């Protein structure tokens, strides 16, 4: 009887020892994915800010500038691209809507971002674009990979349409979470005008050609990233835009279009932190808690099996 019990325990020990790496290396990549139909909205503010008055083409100080960033998953497009690539794909239609203190639109820049649902690596497919212009992204955008590493990543900048390293600057504590802090500085770069401008009747595609006035941009980008889910729990930018040269400025060399320290609104920070706390528990179950528990359980069952077998062998035989 003891021998039969030891064999059952041995079989269970092998089962749980096998499940441990399967959860981490097989189940986790297939279960931990960004959902294709996700919708997300984040509101950011610069308080105070410098803003160009397009009626006078003079910069003025304002109470605040608001940026509403929305991400909306296109499930039908994801399924279509998955059939051609053989990968789990997410298609996000993003929109950065910038408005002044009076609520009027300053600019709108739409994006279509296509990426791998698990690794967050870009997937190149028709429709990948920024402000209606086709792009080919290199590196991440919006979100870091699950189980983010302490290293630099390449991060895509929508204004310049280019990618550059975003640097890991250390581990910090944010709202009780242990996070990785990343920072990227984009130097002054000439960038296209947004297609949708706040000036009625102005065609942004011909503005630079008609006046010779160019648009320039620089930013210092900061993210506090939860390393388990790869989700930023906070983001800030010290952002500046200028118009330079040409006839539009009336002989001036340059004028500030926008300057300010952009931060997530506190209520959206609270919501993001709560959401990440719940999601990181599921990821830790698949990558750490359950694999370790199954491995420990398998070792315990193996020890019990060997103990029962040893007692069975040492029991005196009747004559």
The pLDDT tens digits for 68-120 are 999 999 999 999 999 999 899 999 999 999 999 988 898 899 999 999 999 99
The confidence score (pLDDT) of residue 79 equals 96
Q: For residue range 205-258, list pLDDT tens digits in order.
A: 777 778 889 999 999 999 999 999 999 999 999 999 999 998 888 889 999 999
Among 110-119, 176-185, 293-302, the range scoring the smallest mean pLDDT is: 293-302
The confidence score (pLDDT) of residue 231 equals 96
Alpha-carbon radius of gyration of the chain: 27
Q: What is the mean pLDDT of residues 148-164?
A: 97
- Of the two residues 177 and 202, the one the predictor is more confident about is 177
Q: What is the mean pLDDT of residues 259-281?
A: 95
- Residue 289: pLDDT band (50, 70, 90) is confident
The confidence score (pLDDT) of residue 319 equals 44
CB half-sphere exposure, 277, CA atoms < 13 A: 10
pTM above 0.85, yes or no: yes
CB half-sphere exposure, 302, CA atoms < 13 A: 12
The confidence score (pLDDT) of residue 236 equals 97
Q: Given a cut of 70, is residue 317 above it in pLDDT?
A: no
Q: Given a cut of 70, is residue 2 above it in pLDDT?
A: no
- Residue 138: pLDDT band (50, 70, 90) is very high
Q: Note whether 258 and 239 are within 8 A (CB).
A: yes
The confidence score (pLDDT) of residue 315 equals 61
Length of the chain: 319
Among 124-128, 173-177, 270-274, 294-298, the range scoring the smallest mean pLDDT is: 294-298
User: What is the C-alpha to C-alpha distance for residues 284 and 278, in angstroms, rounded to an integer?
Assistant: 10
The confidence score (pLDDT) of residue 204 equals 72
The confidence score (pLDDT) of residue 184 equals 98
Name 122's bridge partners.
115
Burial of 72 (0-12, 13-18, 19+ CB in 10 A): middle
Q: What is the mean pLDDT of residues 266-272?
A: 96
Long-range contacts of 154-160 (CB under 8 A, 24+ apart): 155/182, 155/184, 155/221, 156/122, 157/184, 157/186, 157/219, 158/96, 158/109, 158/111, 158/130, 158/131, 159/186, 159/189, 159/191, 159/217, 159/219, 160/186, 160/189, 160/191, 160/217
Phi, psi of 294 (to 5 degrees): -65, -40
Q: Which tokens belong to 67?
A: 């940026």
For 191-221, b/e burial (b = at least 16 CB within 10 A) is: bbbbeebbeeeeebeebbeeeebbbbbbbeb
- Of the two residues 67 and 248, the one the predictor is more confident about is 67
């Amino acid at each position: 009887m003891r021998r039969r019990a030891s064999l059952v325990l041995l079989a269970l020990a092998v089962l749980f020892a096998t499940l441990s790496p399967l959860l981490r290396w097989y189940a986790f990549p297939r279960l931990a994915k960004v959902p294709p139909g996700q919708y997300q909205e984040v509101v950011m503010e610069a308080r105070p800010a410098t803003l160009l008055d397009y009626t006078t083409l003079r910069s003025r100080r304002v109470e605040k500038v608001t940026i509403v960033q929305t991400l909306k998953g296109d499930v039908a497009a994801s399924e279509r691209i998955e059939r051609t690539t053989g990968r789990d794909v997410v298609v996000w239609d993003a929109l950065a809507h910038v408005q002044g203190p009076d609520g009027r639109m300053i600019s709108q820049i739409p994006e279509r971002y296509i990426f791998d649902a698990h690794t967050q690596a870009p997937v190149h497919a028709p429709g990948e674009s920024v402000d209606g212009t086709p792009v080919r992204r290199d590196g991440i955008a919006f979100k870091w990979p699950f189980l983010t590493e302490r290293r630099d990543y390449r991060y895509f900048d929508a204004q310049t349409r280019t990618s550059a390293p975003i640097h890991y600057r250390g581990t910090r504590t944010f709202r009780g979470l242990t996070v990785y802090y990343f920072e990227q500085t984009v130097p002054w770069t000439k960038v296209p005008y947004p297609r949708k401008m706040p000036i009625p009747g102005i065609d942004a595609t011909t503005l630079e050609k008609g006046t010779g006035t160019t648009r320039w941009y620089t930013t210092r980008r900061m993210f506090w990233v939860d390393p388990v889910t790869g989700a930023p729990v906070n983001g800030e930018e010290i952002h500046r835009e200028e118009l330079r040269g040409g006839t539009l400025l009336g002989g001036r060399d340059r004028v500030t279009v926008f300057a300010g320290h952009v931060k997530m609104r506190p209520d959206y920070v609270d919501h993001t932190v709560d959401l990440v706390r719940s999601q990181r528990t599921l990821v830790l179950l698949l990558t750490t808690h359950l694999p370790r528990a199954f491995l420990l359980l398998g070792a315990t069952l193996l020890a019990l099996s060997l103990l029962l077998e040893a007692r069975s062998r040492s029991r005196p035989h009747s004559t």
